[in-house]
């Protein structure tokens, strides 16, 4: 699939990894539907991206306004070819251990990190099935695989998202729709700083290092599904082993 012929919906797109993905998709000619919770940063991002492509931007909570977001994209462009579920919820900052994690905070984490990605996929899948083509990318974390103290709520949500993604991929087999899980790796982002306040993250790469993997998965990857590490992909030439 070529991005220049596509429409991509990206959540959490006002900053960090989401914005870097949107920038690259815009450079490759994709039309964009972008969402984030805070209108100020989102509008700044949309203004920048509109210099390169057509953009629909909505300041929404993806756990509550998924229908409005997808409807806006379909009304403007008539299709959504790529869904990047990037928006994530950490919970309280600094993140508490499970023993003291409030159940309502956990519920919120799961709504944003698990339920919303599935709901958005459910909303875009009918027209992807009609076209027998589409790409769904769910952004995960190594916290969904490894056990890190303090990361229990967030990690559990990413573990759930990964399994949900694998089942979805099985159910989409033969449809022409690809479903990927992407671990962007440790990055120096605002979200990571909130997760570990006071920790020096200056040695970590910025999200621009991980973003090219999201272009490669759409345009060059042929496997119908899989779990990918974005920073490892960045270090491996396309077509390399």
Alpha-helix runs per DSSP H in 50-173:
66-77, 103-110, 116-131, 152-171
Give the Cβ contact number of residue 93 at 10 Å: 12
Q: Which two tokens stand for residue 151?
A: 């990361």
Q: Please name the helix (run of DSSP H) or strand (run of DSSP E) that holds residue 16, with its range, or none.
A: helix 16-27
Strands 55-59 and 31-36: parallel
Active-site position among 25, 148, 154, 180 = 154
Residue 148 annotated among the catalytic residues of the structure: no
Q: Which residues participate in catalysis according to the annotation?
A: 154
């Amino acid at each position: 699939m070529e991005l220049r012929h596509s429409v991509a919906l990206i959540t959490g797109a006002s900053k960090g990894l989401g914005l870097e993905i949107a920038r690259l998709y815009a450079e490759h000619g994709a039309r964009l539907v972008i969402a984030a919770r805070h209108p100020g940063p989102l509008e700044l991002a949309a203004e920048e991206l509109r210099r390169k492509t057509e953009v629909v931007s909505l300041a929404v909570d993806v756990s509550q306004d998924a229908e409005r977001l997808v409807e806006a994209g379909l009304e403007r462009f008539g299709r959504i070819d790529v869904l990047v579920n990037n928006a994530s919820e950490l919970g309280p900052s600094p993140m508490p251990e499970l023993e003291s994690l409030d159940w309502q905070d956990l519920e919120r984490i799961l709504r944003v990190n698990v339920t919303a990605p599935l709901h958005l996929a459910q909303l875009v899948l009918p027209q992807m099935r009609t076209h027998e083509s589409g790409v769904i990318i769910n952004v995960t974390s190594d916290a969904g695989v490894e056990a890190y103290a303090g990361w229990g709520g967030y990690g559990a949500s990413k573990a759930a998202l990964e399994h949900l993604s694998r089942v979805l991929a099985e159910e989409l087999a033969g449809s022409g729709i690809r479903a990927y899980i992407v671990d962007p790796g440790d990055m120096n982002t605002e979200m990571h700083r909130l997760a570990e306040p006071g920790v020096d993250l200056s040695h970590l790469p910025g999200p621009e290092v991980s973003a090219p993997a999201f272009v490669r998965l759409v345009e060059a990857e042929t496997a119908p599904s899989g779990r990918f590490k974005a920073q490892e992909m960045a270090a491996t030439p396309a077509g390399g082993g």
